[in-house]
Amino acid sequence: MKIAILSDFHLGYERFREDAYRQAEEALNRAAEMSDMIIIPGDIFDSRVPKPDVIAEAINLFRNLSNRKWNSQITNFVGEGNFYTRVPIIAIPGTHERRAQEAADPVDILGLAGLVVDISNATAIVEGNGEKIAVRGLGGIADDRFREIVTREDPRPTDGAFNIFMFHESLYELLPFNQEFMRIVELPKGFDLYVNGHIHNRVEANVHGKMLLIPGSTVLTQLKAGEQEQKGFFIFDTKTSKYEFVKISSRRFVLIKIDLNKAGSTNSVDFIQDRIDAEIKSTKDVPVIRVVLDGKISKTYNFDIEINDIPRRYRGRAIVELSRAGISGESVREAMASDTIVFERMSVRDYGIGIFLEKIKAAGVNTWGISPVELLDMLGSDAPKDKVVRMVLDELVG
């Protein structure tokens, strides 16, 4: 059986809203034509509480797939929740969809509508072409609780089936910023294929002698070096254990690193624009170009004003973003202070969670049995705060 693996559509992502929808649509339609079933390891949506028009977009995408004639169907479901369709489109919630405990997430809505089968903590059995595929999912779990949940739930393969373990988490080998992240070797054993989301660039690795596949996002989001590759999805053949990466039409992204020390007598702004112009000439579409500046500027006069005007000058030809954190010079000191520090593979949100965890530990704060990441999600969402309030009162009153 051929399995399509797609992830991280980020529907509703404001910066590239049209790209997110168009590229998810192409990926899903092509995947349906090339496969017997589709699995999606998280972040279909960009927000925990999508706007109604974003939910409508998702419904439109998956409704079209539901009307297709599939060579396989879901025959059984074991675990938490229920399934309302036999169409073999299986998903879990990701980081962006995770909400406080007991609050419905947007993947729940798609599941209840019978558009996907949500296996947040369940196994779906798909049968077709004389084969039996078991997909065990764990979704909507904070990174700092994933190891605990895996240990408690002890996910195991289903006898007589080709077994897939699907999750949406940070892995230390890929994001070595937090010692609490799960190691690859700690993933449950016995599965024939491991599928993860969350990482926005394509990854092919080995787990317990089997493949770990991460297809990456279908839309640009973080503007990191790994996103310069073309977007797409995997097709995995269970009979041969071979796979291919299918590319989709996606906006070209270019990361340019410029050392201004090499500008010499050339005006620094002209030096930057020459590099941007060279990239624009090599593409037919409107690319995204992120320029990372380093070194000392050769001329400081009006530099701040001129460099801030560069994105406007390229409007309609390119989407230009400038990072000035590496520049030295009196005229840009204020700009340097305001720049956001973004690690190569870490999103701003993950970086923020890391700071929150460090502060919690340093202060010795009692989180009353709630994961600090879940506490942050709960306090920052519109979910009821009753659970936290009750725990605080119990702790204080006794």
Residues 100 and 198 in one domain: yes
Res 104 pLDDT > 50: yes
The two tokens of residue 155 are 């996910």
Query: Count of domains in the chain?
Result: 3
For residues 239-260, one letter each, b for 16 or more C-beta atoms within 10 angstroms of the residue's C-beta and e for the rest, the string is eeeebebbebebbbbbbbebeb
Residues 308 and 226 in one domain: no
Helix axes 17-34, 52-66, angle to 10 degrees: 10
For the four alpha carbons of 31, 46, 251 and 61, in that order, the dihedral sign comes to positive
Residues 25 and 84 in one domain: yes
Residues 290 and 388 in one domain: no
Q: Which of 135-144, 221-230, 316-325, 349-358 has the highest mean pLDDT?
A: 135-144
Domain boundary among 247, 269, 289: 247
Residues 232 and 267 in one domain: no
Q: Pick 321 or 355 by higher pLDDT.
A: 321
Rounded Cα–Cα distance for residues 246 and 90 (Å)? 19
Res 377 pLDDT > 60: no
Residues 225 and 272 in one domain: no
What's residue 177's pLDDT?
Answer: 81
Residue 358 lies in a domain: no
- Which neighbouring-strand residues pair with 131? 128
Return the CA Rg of the chain.
23
3-class state of residue 185 by DSSP: helix
Residues 75 and 220 in one domain: yes
Rounded Cα–Cα distance for residues 234 and 39 (Å)? 10
Residue 310 lies in a domain: yes
Residues 108 and 232 in one domain: yes
Q: Pick 292 or 265 by higher pLDDT.
A: 292
Pairing of strands 72-79, 89-91: unpaired
Q: Pick 60 or 304 by higher pLDDT.
A: 60
Binned at pLDDT 50, 70 and 90, residue 343 comes out as: very low
Binned at pLDDT 50, 70 and 90, residue 337 comes out as: very low
Owner of token pair 């230009």: 320
- What integer best gives the mean pLDDT of the chain? 85
Rounded Cα–Cα distance for residues 388 and 398 (Å)? 15
Closest CA to 233 of 30, 1, 13: 30
Residue 134's alpha-carbon distances to 87, 176, 192, 205, 282, in angstroms, are 14, 31, 10, 21, 45
Nearby residues of 374 by Cβ (< 8 Å), 6 or more positions away: 100, 101, 142, 145
Res 364 pLDDT > 90: no
Residues 75 and 209 in one domain: yes
Rounded to 5°, the CA angle 12-385-367 comes to 105
Mean pLDDT computed over 325-338: 48
111-169: pLDDT as tens digits: 999 999 999 999 999 999 999 999 999 998 989 899 999 999 999 999 999 999 999 99
29 lies in which domain range? 2-247
271-284: pLDDT as tens digits: 889 999 999 987 77
Residues 314 and 377 in one domain: no
3-class state of residue 353 by DSSP: helix
Q: Pick 125 or 175 by higher pLDDT.
A: 125
26-82: pLDDT as tens digits: 999 999 999 999 999 999 999 999 999 999 999 999 998 988 999 999 999 999 999
What's residue 374's pLDDT?
Answer: 57
Long-range CB pairs of 305-310 (<8 Å, 24+ gap) are: 306/269, 307/268, 307/269, 307/272, 307/332, 310/269, 310/272, 310/273, 310/276
pTM attached to this predicted model:
0.80
Rounded Cα–Cα distance for residues 194 and 205 (Å)? 9
What's residue 295's pLDDT?
Answer: 80
Residues 386 and 307 in one domain: no
Residue 291 lies in a domain: yes
Domain boundary among 247, 274, 309: 247
The tally of CA atoms less than 13 A away on the side-chain side of residue 372 is: 18
Rounded Cα–Cα distance for residues 25 and 27 (Å)? 5
Domain boundary among 338, 355, 375: 338
Single-letter code of the amino acid located at 17: R
The two tokens of residue 273 are 């624009």
| Spatial strand order in the sheet of 210-214 | 72-79, 121-128, 131-138, 162-167, 193-196, 210-214, 203-207
Q: Which of 303-307, 362-366, 390-394 has the highest mean pLDDT?
A: 303-307
Residue 189 lies in a domain: yes
Single-letter code of the amino acid located at 374: E
The tally of CA atoms less than 13 A away on the side-chain side of residue 235 is: 15
Question: Which CATH number characterizes residue 123's domain?
Answer: 3.60.21.10
